[in-house]
Amino acid sequence: MTSDQAATFEPHRRRLRGLAHRMLGSIAEAEDAVQAAYQRWHQVDFACVADPRAFLTTTTTRICLDVLKSARSVREADVGPWLPDPVLDDHALAPDAQTELADDLSVALLLVLERLLALERAAFLLHDVFDYSFAEVAAALGAHASDPQHAALIQAFVGAARTGDLEALTRMLASETRLVTDGGGKVAAAMNVISGAGRVAAFPAGVVRKGWMDDLAVREATINGLPGLLLCRPDGLVQTTAFEVCDGVVTAINIVRNPDKLRHLA
């Protein structure tokens, strides 16, 4: 530990506290997360860190994701509804960003964040509140988003879809799974949200049976912080598929086919 490391950390403390509070909804947990990041900062080789801001944000985000995993069962055991900690001093949690939501600490926003999966919450906060680029968000969430269990689940899902194994597909889906397909009215897509494990399982199996995937190459990718797939034809990308996963099953599948939304990925 050096005095330089301590001095370098302090300008980032308020921003890290703001991130942790929005992630966790608890002042005490946020302070603990920032302190854990501070301790890890003192354990690294300072000379090897090219961007302290990125390193500290990534470290704090991943600490918060770990806390959320362990906190899920605790909050489920609480009696009655959950609300975030009340905050009087907004300035103490400001993220040093100029985005529209940067100063928003309303209960409404925090309750919306609480409904998101942990990775979705982190991706939204880093990009929309803390003004991180998508590349920086992907780097910050990389270790969690590429969870080997999630990768194995998605590989199994693709395999079952290709063989039309509805029973196997259904086992990988939560009972209330939803599938959303955005074609923008420009390409073929489901017009309505598909809900329920049985109906969602039938959708990819039906697509494969009709031969739509015969000439497609499939590649794994992290999409908006979630494990996902890129589907490409020889002339370019035709679809992204992002999977929301919780407790070992798929809870939602978000498919983007609108070519206007895929153009920047070409």
Residue 34 is predicted with a pLDDT of 93
Shared-domain flag, residues 242 and 184? yes
Shared-domain flag, residues 140 and 170? no
Shared-domain flag, residues 45 and 65? yes
With a cut of 90, say whether residue 120 has pLDDT above it. no
Is residue 24 within 8 Å of residue 30, measured between CB atoms? yes
Residue 127's domain comprises: 3-145
Shared-domain flag, residues 61 and 126? yes
Exposed / middle / buried, residue 13 (Cβ in 10 Å: 0-12, 13-18, 19+): middle
Shared-domain flag, residues 50 and 119? yes
Residue 3 is predicted with a pLDDT of 66
Shared-domain flag, residues 90 and 192? no
- Name the domain boundary from 93, 126, 145: 145
Shared-domain flag, residues 201 and 135? no
194: confidence class by pLDDT, cuts 50, 70, 90: very high
- Is pLDDT larger for residue 103 or for residue 190? 190
Shared-domain flag, residues 117 and 8? yes
Query: What is the total count of domains within the chain?
Result: 2
Give the SS3 label for residue 11: helix
112: confidence class by pLDDT, cuts 50, 70, 90: low
**Looking at residue 175, which CATH number applies to its domain?**
3.10.450.50
Exposed / middle / buried, residue 111 (Cβ in 10 Å: 0-12, 13-18, 19+): middle
Residue 65 is predicted with a pLDDT of 83
Percentage of residues in the chain having pLDDT higher than 70? 73
What residue type is assigned to position 156 of the chain? A
Residue 7 is predicted with a pLDDT of 84
- Name the domain boundary from 97, 115, 145: 145
Q: Which residues contact 36 (CB under 8 A, 6 or more apart)?
A: 63
Shared-domain flag, residues 105 and 163? no
Residue 102 is predicted with a pLDDT of 41
Q: Which residues contact 11 (CB under 8 A, 6 or more apart)?
A: none
pLDDT digits (tens, 9 = 90+) for 58-102: 888 888 888 887 765 455 555 556 565 555 555 555 555 444 334
Shared-domain flag, residues 20 and 116? yes
Distance (Å, rounded) from C-alpha 125 to C-alpha 64? 12
- Name the domain boundary from 120, 145, 170: 145
Shared-domain flag, residues 86 and 133? yes
pLDDT digits (tens, 9 = 90+) for 28-48: 888 999 999 999 998 887 777
Section 4-20 average pLDDT: 85
Distance (Å, rounded) from C-alpha 195 to C-alpha 179? 6
Is residue 108 within 8 Å of residue 115, measured between CB atoms? no
Shared-domain flag, residues 76 and 181? no
